[in-house]
Structure 1
Amino acid sequence: MRVSASGGIVLVTGEREVEEAIRLVLATAPGERPTRPDFGCAIHDMVFAPVNEETAGRIAYEVRTSLDRWEPRIEVSDVVVTVAPDEGAALFIDIRYEIRGTNNPRNLVFPFYVIPSHDDPSTESEDS
């Protein structure tokens, strides 16, 4: 649902509807919805994980697994996780997919923020 230019409520359709559904799956942590406790994506378990290759790989796996399960309208071709260039606490999840029955490749970038550990020497200031 969206607010129209005139202030009314409108429903999204087509490719935009699929994009919103992907964002909903990724933004929901499993257990967050009492009536559907399995719904969502387990990337939220990695909020306190270090920003490294292992975490990026696990996030890519969780994204692919959750979208395969919860969004049958798409075929995920690739999930690439990169560290934001200016921020060490942000990861960009680039999901490359195709809506089934079309030959229209699409992508969606979903930002994911981690909370760096105070024990991690790479996050401490030089004055310490």
Structure 2
Amino acid sequence: MNIDFPFHFNNLGRTATTSDDDHIRDMIEQLLFTNPGERVNRPDFGSGLLQLIFAPNSPELAATLQFTMQASLQRWLGDLIDVQALAVSSEDSSLRVFLQYVVKRSGEQRTETFEQSGVL
């Protein structure tokens, strides 16, 4: 049984739980949208993606971002997933991450889109 993210209570007033597959998705979302230095006991956890919302788009930035995100996913979640495809797009103050991965435990291929918008 896994605690759902973001933390909340279910209709019985208990801590909400989620399935294993949804928990993996939640962990990916936390990794992508956490800046390094935000976690007290894991200062290098995160991808730094949010720091780039207002950065000017360029092929060099896109390549760098893809490389660092791929490395973060491999380091922190490499025992759970195999990344098949990763793409990031930025429009105005919104970031969209497309991720295709295989869950190692089940061999199931999943495709997820993560989006963050707004002022930091």
* Residue 53 (str. 1) matches residue 59 (str. 2): yes
Gaps of 5+ in 2: none
Contact 1:29 1:41 (8 Å CA) reproduced? yes
CA distance in 1, matches of 2:25, 2:73: 11
For residues 1-128 of structure 1, what are the structure 2 equivalents within 5 Å? 1-2=3-4, 3-71=9-77, 72-83=79-90, 87-113=91-117
- Secondary structure of the structure 1 residue equivalent to 2:18: coil
Q: 1:36-76: CA deviations, max 9, x gaps? A: 11111122342331133333322222221111001120111
Percent identity reads: 27
> Over the residues paired in the alignment, what is the CA RMSD in angstroms?
2.2
Q: Which gives a bigger RCO, structure 1 or 2 (Cα 8 Å, sep 6+)? A: 1
CA distance in 1, matches of 2:70, 2:12: 38
Instruction: Call closer, same or farther: CA 1:53–1:111 in 2, change over 3 Å.
Output: farther
Contact 2:53 2:94 (8 Å CA) reproduced? no
Q: How many residues align?
A: 112
How high is the TM-score relative to the length of structure 2? 0.77
Post-superposition shift, 1:106?
0.5
Q: 1:62-97: CA deviations, max 9, x gaps? A: 2211110011201111101234xxx53323110110
How high is the TM-score relative to the length of structure 1? 0.73
